[in-house]
Amino acid sequence: MTMSMEDIKMLDKQDMLGKLKGFASQCKDGYSFTIPVLPFKSIEKVIFAGMGGSAISGDIIATIASKNSKIPSFVNRDYTLPLWAHNERTLVVAISYSGNTEETLSVLEEAKKRKNSIVCISSGGKIEKIAREENIPFLKIPSGYPPRCALGYLFFSCYKIMENIGLVPPLENKLFIKMEKWIERFLPESNNNLAKNIAEKLHNKVGIFYSSNKFIPVITRWKTQIAENSKAFAFINVFPEMNHNEIMSWRYPEWFIERCLPVFITSRKEHPRIELRFKITKDIIFKKQPEIISLVPEGEDIIEELFYFIILGDWVSFYLAIMNNENPTEIAEINLLKQKLGG
């Protein structure tokens, strides 16, 4: 379907487009923030406590850390901490853009009781108040964004803190330069626009996103951005697990399979057996649904690959929102739910 700048201006009432255009500079800013002094030593485990856009930051860091550090890291999307997080050698990173996420606040209170090491990241709210009152290391990021549009601030400020404790390696400026170039290619006026092309194929379809385990943060972000921005369903699964069960789902219901669009997100650096699994699985699915999208990232290392895909997915979800005749920023059902919960 065709989509004009007039369509974008009419539907994009809170300027999601501007936020997407400014993402690279937001990331650079996030990485340049002055991080708080961390009083703790000998950290043995890290838990990122957050939801939605905040939790994705933990997902990405945990993926990078697994290749760079012997300290295990976990993402906690819940009201409570696991029992093994029981002393100061477990670092709890309470990360909430608003500072008022009830699940994260609940974990923060529990972490205080358990005498965990804690660091907080938010734009304000109750988390800032608690951190200031309790003298907990706190990093304040700029406010005024929908939480999912603040990933640059949330992730890169958190990354800098984790870099300081040796969980992840330092970043080079070339990452932000590459981000600028990728964004330029996905702008509405850009020709041969991959993001727009994918959105056109996904329009009125259900995206089924498959990747290897290292790209779980990517397909999770694609799914949540398509939900919040595009107001549409998408499903995700990973290799090799998908081969042990979901591969059998490509039979019924036939009407659903006709509406599905499989999207394979792979790297040039996959395990050889994963590569073979992708190839065989595509051949099997092709017999049921011949329209398959295969995507390979740009980038020299894992963080570049991850952010290439994240930027691409954010633009796909934006264009799909416009094609669905939706305001990409509006989240009425989420707001209604929070209101009924008393938040």
86 is catalytic: no
Give the DSSP H/E element, type plus range, for residue 61. Answer: helix 52-68
Please name the residues in contact with 250: beta carbons below 8 A apart, sequence gap of 6 or more: 257, 284, 285, 288, 289
- Residue 140 vs residues 76, 125, 153: alpha-carbon distances, Å: 21, 10, 10
- Residue 147 vs residues 141, 152, 222, 290, 338: alpha-carbon distances, Å: 11, 10, 15, 37, 15
Catalytic residue among 163, 228, 270, 330: 228
Distance CA 322, CA 4 (A): 9
Q: Is residue 236 within 8 Å of 209, Cβ to Cβ?
A: yes
Catalytic residue among 113, 244, 287, 340: 244
- Residue 98 vs residues 52, 55, 206, 337: alpha-carbon distances, Å: 12, 13, 31, 16
Q: Is residue 98 within 8 Å of 123, Cβ to Cβ?
A: yes
338 is catalytic: yes
Active site residues: 228, 244, 338
